[in-house]
Structure formats: C-alpha cells, structure tokens
Amino acid sequence: MSERKPGATRRAVVIGGFFAATIVTDPAQATPEQMRAAIRNVVGSASIRKGRVQLDVPPLVENGNTVSLVVAVDSAMTATDYVKTIHVFNERNPQPYVIAVHLGPRAGTARIATRIRLADSQTLTAIAEMSDGTFWSTSADVVVTLAACVEGI
C-alpha cells in the first residue's frame, strides 16, 4: 500500500466528452495535524498554557463566508507586561492560519475583532504570546451551516 500524507490528497480527474477539461481538487481541507504543525512553527518547543485568552465566535454560523471573531487577552498591557502577538489557527480550512496581530504596551487593551471564513464546522484556536515569553491559548468550536439557495452562476 503506497504511503499517503495524512489529510493532503491531490486528485486530477479528467472528464472527456464535451469538456475535456481537467478538474483538480485541492487539499480542500487541512487537518488537525496541520494545525498543530502550524502552531509548533510559531510557538517552538515552549509549552502552551490554557487560559487568559477569550475567543468570541458564534457557536452556530449562518454562513461560513463571514464569521465574526473577537479575541481578547487578560493583560494589564503595561510596559513590562503585555501581549506581543495573538495568533489564530483553524483546523479545516485549506490552510491553518487565520490571522496574527502584533500588539505592544501602547495597545492599552489586548482585544481585536475581525471577520473570517470557515470552510466547515471545526475548532478554532487562539494563542497569545506574552512579553515574558509565555504562551497562552483557548479554543472554540463552531458549527457552520450553508445557505439553501446558492448561486450557481
């Protein structure tokens, strides 16, 4: 049995007849392993502690194209104790990164909001890198539904 890279498949399907076009499907979904690898890429070998981070995302989303996301971190944001970076990762979009924001003591409050895309129901993970080198994280599950009447044209 040939070895297959977990999660990443690339299939080329040739359709004959009128089209004769090649339809290539991308690795349409990343995997939890790819997300963990992306996290390791950012965090290195440091341990990640649970807590201090709040992820506010609707548990049930009416459309995965635009999902509101708020990330906040408990921090006094002083010159010596502040949030350096907030990273957000996903486990089922084609790639595991969502956003990375670079803050500093001038932020005053470590809280950002944005709107993201989610390809499927999945778990989001937010990781805060503090000025003292520690990493803190939290996760949230999101259920993504689709519109019934989509546009085919």
Partner 1 sequence: MARPLINVPVKVKRGETFEIKTLISHVMEPGYRFTTTGARLPRDIVTSFCCSYNGVEIFRADLSPAIAANPFITFFTVATESGTLEFKWTGDNGFSETAAATITVE
Partner 2 sequence: MMALELLAAAGPARSADIPLDQRRSGYADLARDSKAMQDDDTVNPATLWVLDGEALWNQKASAADRSCADCHGDATVSMKGVAARYPAFSPAHNSPIDLEQRINLCRTEHQQAAPLPFESHDLLALTAYVGRQSRGIAIAESKDERLKPFIERGRELFSRRQGQINLSCAQCHDDNWGRRIAGALLPQGHPNGYPIYRLEWQGLGSLQRRLRNCLFGLRAELYALGSNELVSLELFLIQRARGMTIETPAVRP
SS3 of residue 116 by DSSP: strand
Contact 111, 55 (CB under 8 A): no
Which residue in 6, 94, 84 sits closest to 46, CA to CA? 84
Q: Does 28 bind partner 1 (CB under 8 A)?
A: yes
Closer residue to partner 1, CB minimum distance, 53 or 103: 103
Q: Does 83 bind partner 1 (CB under 8 A)?
A: no
User: Which part of the chain contacts partner 1 (CB under 8 A), choosing from 16-24, 44-52, 127-135, 136-144?
Assistant: 16-24
The rounded distance, in Å, linking the Cα atoms of 149 and 140 is: 28
- What does DSSP assign to residue 34? H
114 binds, among partner 2, partner 1, none (CB under 5 to 8 A by kind): partner 1
- Give strand pairing partners of 11: 25
Closer residue to partner 2, CB minimum distance, 132 or 151: 151
The rounded distance, in Å, linking the Cα atoms of 105 and 81 is: 8
In 3-122, alpha helices (H)? 32-43
Q: Does 95 bind partner 1 (CB under 8 A)?
A: yes
Q: Does 21 bind partner 1 (CB under 8 A)?
A: yes
134 binds, among partner 2, partner 1, none (CB under 5 to 8 A by kind): none
The strand pair at 135-144 and 11-14 is best described as unpaired
Q: Does 90 bind partner 1 (CB under 8 A)?
A: yes
Closer residue to partner 2, CB minimum distance, 40 or 117: 117
Contact 45, 96 (CB under 8 A): no
Whole-number minimum distance, CB 12 to partner 1, in Å? 10
Would you tell me which residues interact with partner 1 (CB under 8 A)? 19, 21-24, 26, 28, 65-67, 90, 93-95, 97-104, 106-118
